């Protein structure tokens, strides 16, 4: 009996049936019951650390935890899509600052993460940890993640060259002091070709990473604690003008050293002497610029005014529990086990130089060890002393847009400054920043969930200070 549609369709049908049957059998053989918790992280170092700790938690609670590692950007985008579509998501997830804001564009009840505010306050974690770190993981007064770190920022510098130049860093108390020393002793044309061969500081032209750090240190920010846009404040304008003067034109004190090998060569060659270094980056320098061992040292950031804040912050990780999790209490226990584990803090600091937000951990012996790379300084103690001063950083749902628009103004302002100098610079920067802010406010106003009534409801529920 012949197949009515011919031999080719017959064999295509046979292959399709065999393939389908094989896939079904394979799926049945390889499928396993879902573990009690699925926990996704983006940092390889965190993945390695948790692999060591989780078996003990599994044994104590008689549960199974599946740990996964995914790069941060796909983790954010896939998680956003899955939460919107209502498809399966992990029970717990670590998120990188400032991407938490991307999850905060809707009403609070639809954020997708468990509101941890009451749990944190009931267990006094807001008192035991650095309070400002909760700001990154908050929206409209509610906390949606537990902070993993503090990341206080300091200045790392070429101690050997700085001492040869007769500079006493203990006398540099303010940024005005720093700029004065830079002009008097550091920025020099050493070979007589008319081009400086040594600069004081590493600053990017666009302000990437460094401008928000300086703005936070000064007490400015892109958003306030209720998510209102503050990117065009007078403080932001003042800081932008300062940044442009130090990074553009003939009198600049900085050089844009870039990243990776260009940066390490600039530091090794003495083209730049000072660079911003949060705790995590101090370990990166140790590993990637090992030739500078014993030649480097750390100092607190110069303050914006005498007696002012001597640090800022750069980066951060938070742990959130998804609303879809069927084991929220178990997830909360695992979060505390991993983030409040004193046994892990010492090893974490030895491996990564990261200061935990739990203040009682800072007295551990690991934080008192002299570091040979930084000329024998006890950098754990130095960063721990800076940590309580770390400023709050309210991210907001449109943080990435605001950061991009602010950097556009910095670049445009720099071009203007190189062409016209100080004349009209403030007016130009102010006008450009107000234009960018007006655009962002227009976009934000289209979001009905972030209008005043929504914020008022959140206030009624209790705000985080």
Q: What is the pLDDT along the chain (465 residues), one digit of tens a residue?
A: 666 777 777 778 888 888 887 777 766 666 667 899 999 999 988 998 899 899 999 999 999 999 999 998 889 899 989 988 889 999 999 999 888 888 888 888 888 999 999 999 999 999 999 999 999 999 888 999 999 999 999 999 999 999 999 999 999 999 999 999 999 999 999 999 989 999 999 999 998 889 999 999 999 999 988 888 999 999 999 999 999 999 999 999 999 999 999 999 999 999 999 999 999 999 999 999 999 999 999 999 999 999 999 999 999 999 999 999 999 999 999 999 999 988 788 888 988 999 999 999 999 999 999 999 999 999 999 999 999 999 999 887 899 899 999 999 999 999 999 999 999 999 999 999 999 999 999 999 888 877 665 555 554 444 443
Q: Of 273, 294, 314, 278, nearest to 178 (Cα)? A: 273
Collapsing DSSP states into helix, strand and coil, what is residue 190?
Answer: coil
Q: Of 292, 398, 232, nearest to 277 (Cα)? A: 292
Collect all residues with Cβ–Cβ distance below 8 Å to 325 and sequence separation of at least 6: 37, 91, 92, 114, 331
C-alpha angle 381-332-46 in degrees, rounded to nearest 5: 50
Token digits of residue 67: 């740990």
The rounded distance, in Å, linking the Cα atoms of 240 and 233 is: 11
135-165 core/surface letters (b: 16 or more CB in 10 A; e: else):
bbbbbbbbbbbbbbbbbbbbbbbbbbebeee
The DSSP call for residue 376 is T
Total number of residues shown for the chain: 465
Residue 118: other Cβ atoms inside 10 A: 12
Confidence at residue 462, expressed as pLDDT on a 0 to 100 scale: 43
Helices (H) and strands (E) in the chain, counts: 17, 12
Confidence at residue 110, expressed as pLDDT on a 0 to 100 scale: 85
The rounded distance, in Å, linking the Cα atoms of 457 and 108 is: 9
The rounded distance, in Å, linking the Cα atoms of 292 and 158 is: 8
| Predicted model pTM | 0.86
The DSSP call for residue 102 is G
Token digits of residue 319: 């742990």
The rounded distance, in Å, linking the Cα atoms of 310 and 388 is: 11
Phi-psi region of 209 (alpha: psi -120 to 50; beta: other; left: phi over 0): left
The DSSP call for residue 363 is G
Collapsing DSSP states into helix, strand and coil, what is residue 174?
Answer: strand
Decide if 151 contacts 316 (C-beta within 8 A). Answer: yes
H/E run at residue 57: helix 44-61
- Report the side by side order of strands in the sheet with 146-147: 65-69, 37-41, 92-96, 317-321, 146-147
The rounded distance, in Å, linking the Cα atoms of 100 and 397 is: 8
């Amino acid at each position: 009996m012949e197949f009515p549609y011919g031999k080719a369709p017959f064999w295509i049908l046979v292959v399709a049936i065999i393939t389908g049957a094989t896939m079904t059998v394979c799926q049945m053989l390889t499928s396993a019951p879902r573990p009690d918790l699925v926990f996704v992280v983006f940092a390889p170092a965190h993945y390695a650390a948790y692999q060591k700790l989780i078996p003990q938690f599994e044994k104590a609670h008689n549960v199974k935890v599946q740990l996964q590692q995914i790069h941060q950007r796909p983790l954010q985008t896939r998680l956003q899509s899955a939460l919107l579509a209502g498809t399966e998501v992990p029970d717990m997830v670590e998120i990188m600052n400032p991407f938490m804001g991307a999850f905060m564009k809707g009403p609070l009840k639809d954020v997708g993460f468990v509101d941890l505010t009451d749990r944190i306050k009931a267990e006094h974690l807001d008192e035991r940890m650095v309070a400002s770190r909760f700001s990154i993981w908050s929206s409209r007064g509610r906390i949606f993640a537990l902070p993993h770190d503090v990341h206080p920022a300091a200045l790392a510098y070429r101690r050997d060259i700085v001492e040869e130049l007769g500079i006493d860093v203990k006398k540099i108390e303010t940024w005005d002091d720093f700029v004065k020393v830079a002009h008097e002793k550091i920025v020099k044309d050493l070979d007589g070709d008319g081009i400086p061969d040594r600069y004081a500081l590493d600053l990017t032209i666009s302000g990437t990473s460094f401008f928000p750090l300086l703005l936070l240190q000064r007490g400015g920010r892109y958003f306030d604690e209720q998510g209102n846009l503050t990117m065009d404040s007078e403080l932001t304008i003042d800081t932008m003008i300062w940044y442009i003067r130090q990074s553009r034109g003939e009198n600049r004190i900085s050089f844009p050293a870039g990243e990776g090998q260009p940066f390490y060569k600039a530091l090794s060659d003495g083209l730049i002497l000072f660079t911003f270094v949060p705790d995590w980056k101090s370990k990166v320098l140790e590993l990637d610029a090992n030739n500078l061992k014993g030649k480097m040292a750390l100092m607190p950031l110069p303050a914006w005014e005498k007696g002012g804040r001597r640090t800022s912050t750069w980066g951060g990780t938070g742990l959130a529990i998804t609303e879809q999790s069927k084991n929220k209490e178990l997830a909360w226990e695992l979060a505390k086990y991993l983030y409040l584990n004193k046994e892990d803090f010492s090893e974490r600091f030895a491996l990564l130089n990261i200061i935990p937000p739990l203040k009682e951990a800072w007295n551990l012996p690991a934080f008192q060890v002299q570091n040979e790379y930084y000329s024998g300084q006890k950098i754990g103690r130095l960063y721990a002393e800076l940590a309580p001063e770390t400023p709050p950083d309210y991210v907001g749902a449109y943080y990435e847009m605001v950061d991009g628009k602010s950097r556009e103004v910095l670049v445009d302002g720099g071009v203007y400054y190189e062409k016209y100098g100080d004349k009209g610079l403030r007016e130009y920067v102010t006008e450009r920043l107000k234009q960018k802010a007006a655009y962002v406010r227009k976009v934000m106003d289209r979001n009905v969930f972030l209008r005043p009534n929504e914020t008022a409801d959140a206030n009624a529920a209790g705000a985080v200070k």
